[in-house]
Amino acid sequence: AAAGASAATALGTATAGRGERIARTRHFLMCRPEHFAVTYSINPWMDPAAGADAARAVEQWEALRAAYLRLGHRVSLIDPIEGLPDMVFAANGALVVNGRVYGARFAHPERAAEAPAYAAWLRANGFSEVREPAHTNEGEGDFLTLDHVILAGTGFRTEVAAHQEAQEFLGMPVVTLRLVDPRFYHLDTALFPLDGTNVAYYPGAFSPGSRAVLERLFPHAIIADERDAAVLGLNAVSDGRNVVINAEAAGLIETLRRHGYEPVPVDLSELRKAGGGPKCCTLELRSRQEAA
Ligand code: ARG
């Protein structure tokens, strides 16, 4: 009986029995917010009169980076550029899938210069297939990649034509989702992938049609409420098991735990003054998949 029990345990570990979530190690690109500030307003979170504290933002960002390293992820850094206060939001710098880089093209002139900076870093770091986009898109802010589909937001920043351009360039199906609440101006403020096949999201951020699409694609999704969304709780990063998430999203954190995920709460309250959270600070670098 003892031998049987230990065999079952070994099997359980290898195949991750029911409720056991499996983490996959990631490679992230981040940008230390040395020049962070709120000097203009391009979303409802930003109040230039209230400003923001760059030193505090750096401290919080360092804790986010430390959390990723503790979880075993790899973090690369791009040098921040003076005069680009939002460059900390690396997610917007590009979309990297299967080693191919679909470059960003920002909706607002204040951030335009970030796109070539991220493209140059990626080229210099081994990503040779970089597509300069013909259409406005804000990288992973509006493109979220699952195993067999890329979910793409539109309505505030990224154009539908960019969804089509990305699909053609990356050879992945891209599903357009329409955002309707200005507080949730990027897809990654309203939805995050839990793993390669499931997501968590706040339905109120989406048009009725897009909500129906999400229900059809993800019948087992985790549904967040307005309180979670209002603290940017959906701007989270999951590795399939551990979910790095704003600490204020208490309800969602509890729900994630109930579903077998391991929440890793972080405090990014200073960066939220620009409308960003953990995911905004994080660009995933997905290397080329070897043919099976
Ligand atoms: N202030 C930035 C902007 O409005 C925040 C970007 C947040 N990034 C994100 N991936 N949601 O563009």
Distance 111 CA to ligand 1 centre (A): 10
Check if 280 has its Cβ closer than 6 Å to any atom of ligand 1: yes
Residue with tokens 């990297």: 96
Query: Is pLDDT at 210 greater than 70 in this prediction?
Result: yes
* ipTM for the complex shown: 0.97
- Among the residue ranges 2-6, 149-153, 271-275, the one predicted with the least confidence is 2-6
Query: Is pLDDT at 11 greater than 60 in this prediction?
Result: no
Q: Cβ contacts of residue 186 below 8 Å, gap of 6+?
A: 92, 138, 141, 142, 153, 156, 157, 179, 280
In angstroms, the CA 260 to CA 235 distance is 19
Structure confidence at residue 15 as a pLDDT band (50, 70, 90): very low
Query: Among 114, 158, 186, 234, which residue has the most ligand 1 atoms within 8 Å of its CB, making it the best to mutate?
Result: 186
Mean pLDDT value across residues 23-31: 98
Q: What pLDDT was estimated at residue 20? A: 85
Query: Is pLDDT at 12 greater than 60 in this prediction?
Result: no
Q: Nearest C-alpha to atom 8 of ligand 1 is from which residue?
A: 280
Q: What pLDDT was estimated at residue 289? A: 82
- Ligand 1 nearest atom to the CA of residue 46, by list position: 1
Mean pLDDT value across residues 218-243: 98
Query: Is pLDDT at 26 greater than 60 in this prediction?
Result: yes
Give per-residue pLDDT as tens, 54-79.
999 999 999 999 999 999 999 999 99
Residue with tokens 């939220």: 272
Query: Is pLDDT at 29 greater than 80 in this prediction?
Result: yes
Mean pLDDT value across residues 261-271: 98
Q: What pLDDT was estimated at residue 5? A: 38
Distance 97 CA to ligand 1 centre (A): 20
